[in-house]
Copies of this chain bind each other. A is one copy, B any other.
Amino acid sequence: MRTDLCDLLGIDHPIVGFSPSEHVVAAISRAGGLGVLGAVRFNDAAELDTVLTWLDRETGGRPYGVDVVMPSTVPTEGLPEDLNAMVPSGHHEFVERTLLRLGVPPLSAAQDRPGVLGWLHSVARAHVEVALNHPIRLIANALGPPPPDVISQAHDRGVLVAALAGRADHARSHVRSGVDIVVAQGYEAGGHTGEIAGMVLVPEVVDAVHVPVLAAGGIGSGRQIAAALALGARGVWMGSLWLGTTEYQSGHALREALLRATSSDTVRSRIYSGKPARLLRNRWTDAWSAQGAPAVLPMPLQNLLVSAAHDRLMASGDPTVVPMPVGQIVGRMNEVRPVAAVLSDLVTEADETLGRLHKLL
């Protein structure tokens, strides 16, 4: 299976794989897809720089990309201390009370670290600056088109720009802003997601724009890749599936939670970032939808509020509370395997499906 996306990105298979793990990203690119590193977790741009230098080496000259989180309208900005002061004390109390009730211990001094700042526009800009000094093929933005000067800088260096869209009108506006590839992210996807399911969204976006479209959301098998291509996508964007690979070095609790979850065990909620995102449903997400839970704060305050709690939840080792964006495809993640084996199976099944479909003619 080859589409023109393969030529555009210099890859063997029209599979773009997003991961916050550089180990997963390197393995995807080495296996003939395009690995895209999620940069939001890097508070310090120098740390991102080090990881990208590692990727330059470990991808062995294969193309890769970087994903940042830049809302198209710049949200509240400021120093972490000042922003923290904007979080109502009742919200902090709710988080503390909930962690106590869920039996989640505090972090040890060694585990404690500052909250995630990658949601801040200034930090995302620093990510872009660092990334553009590496031989990346693609810069992607999870929340629509990056600012015009970022797009210009990328294009000046021959770097393609991709942006996620959950509606056809958004996709149109992304392309007007200069975006080269639209990722049509359906309701079923993990992380930030809209209301329209991929089956409807992908052909709508394909018909709305003249640039290549990647289908995102709910894709974890070759049959689903073939379906995405049938809908007119030139390839797929996959995120959740890699959480279940050997290279994604998660703790035992997350792995356990992912293996146990069915496709019904996710929830679309604003509690992670302030914008609707699909998460693993568990005792932590349930607490936020129970009566008496406070209203979710706008971006970036909500993530500042919960990011220390996320560290505690993750460190607790309890599979019933891990905070994790994941799509409905989590129901298929029932075995931990190396990225190369997963990718090879995807390609084989997609090819078999295209062959099977032809026999129906």
Asked, given contacts A224-B231, A231-B223, whether A186 binds B203 with beta carbons under 8 Å apart, the answer is no
CB pair B357–A361 under 8 Å, yes or no, is no
Residues 329-344 of A, flagged 1 when their CB comes within 8 A of B and 0 if not, give 1011000000000000
- Copy number in this complex? 2
Residues 146-177 of A, flagged 1 when their CB comes within 8 A of B and 0 if not, give 00000000000000000000011000000000
Identify the A interface with B (CB < 8 A).
1-3, 167-168, 186-188, 195-201, 203-204, 217-219, 221, 223-224, 226-232, 263-264, 327-329, 331-332, 351, 353-355, 357-358, 360-361
List of B residues within 8 angstroms of A201 by Cβ: 263
Name the distance in Å between A214's Cβ and chain B's nearest Cβ: 14
List of B residues within 8 angstroms of A167 by Cβ: 263-264
CB pair B1–A361 under 8 Å, yes or no, is yes
Interface-central residue, A199, A201, A231, by most chain B CB under 10 Å: A199
Contact of A229 among B224, B231, B360 (CB under 8 A): B360
Interface-central residue, A195, A197, A229, A332, by most chain B CB under 10 Å: A197
Asked, given contacts A227-B231, A231-B227, whether A199 binds B219 with beta carbons under 8 Å apart, the answer is yes
CB pair B221–A203 under 8 Å, yes or no, is yes
Name the distance in Å between A351's Cβ and chain B's nearest Cβ: 6
A187 to B88, CA, bound (A): 36
